[in-house]
């Protein structure tokens, strides 16, 4: 009896997951053909059940005004829900909203916090954005060329040509010791956060 009950529970979980995956895929197809109402109709129930990808997609729709009234505040709401569930791309999106002051007060410290979380999740753009913030220096994050080089190097290692260019340009104004330290810190970061 226990085996039959366990199998029934497992089947119900699998069926629910398969239905959720189908709803998500239906939403993607609708979004790609510009049918934003169908996309949000399929994604909203998933987002309400804490599906991070659906939450992020709804955030994008609000940020860009696709099928819904444009609202940075609503975009931040959905990005935050996904980000708090560990969704790295949503963490990067939320960091960008704080860096730009879109839907939230401008806050570089908060932006950096979300970028760091996204970077730990392997997000290349978050690493690039951290490099830019550190290279120029922003309130709460003073200029630090060694750390900027480190973040550019990490993003470049993931294939960002822009990060490689920024890293190489920055290195021209750095001492050999600074470049060596940046490279050491990048290796150390990778040891602690394998991608």
pLDDT, tens digit, 9 for 90 and up, residues 47-88: 999 999 999 999 999 999 999 999 999 999 999 999 999 999
pTM of the shown model: 0.87
Residue 36 is predicted with a pLDDT of 95
Residue 20 is predicted with a pLDDT of 64
Domain ranges of the chain: 123-195
d(CA 85, CA 87): 6
d(CA 11, CA 145): 54
Residue 22 is predicted with a pLDDT of 78
Q: Which residues of the chain have pLDDT under 70?
A: 1-20
φ, ψ (nearest 5 deg) of residue 141: -145, 80
Residue 23 is predicted with a pLDDT of 79
Residue 48 is predicted with a pLDDT of 96
Contacts of 49 (CB under 8 A, 6+ apart): 20
Structure tokens that stand for 127 in this block: 């690493």
Residue 88 is predicted with a pLDDT of 97
């Amino acid at each position: 009896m226990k085996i039959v009950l366990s199998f029934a529970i497992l089947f119900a979980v699998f069926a629910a997951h398969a239905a959720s995956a189908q709803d998500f895929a239906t939403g993607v197809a609708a979004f790609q053909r510009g049918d934003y109402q169908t996309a949000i109709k399929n994604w909203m129930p998933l987002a309400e059940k804490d599906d991070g990808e659906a939450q992020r997609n709804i955030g994008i729709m609000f940020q860009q005004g696709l099928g819904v009234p444009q609202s940075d505040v609503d975009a931040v709401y959905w990005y935050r829900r996904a980000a708090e569930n560990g969704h790295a791309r949503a963490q990067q999106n939320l960091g960008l909203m704080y860096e730009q002051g879109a839907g939230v007060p401008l806050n570089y410290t908060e932006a950096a916090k979300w970028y760091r979380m996204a970077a730990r999740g392997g997000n290349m753009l978050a690493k690039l954005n951290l490099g830019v913030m550190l290279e120029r220096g922003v309130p709460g994050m003073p200029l630090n060329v060694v750390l900027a080089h480190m973040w550019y190097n990490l993003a470049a290692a993931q294939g960002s040509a822009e990060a490689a260019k920024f890293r190489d340009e920055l290195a021209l104004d750095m001492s050999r010791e600074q470049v060596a330290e940046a490279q050491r810190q990048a290796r150390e970061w990778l040891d602690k956060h394998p991608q």
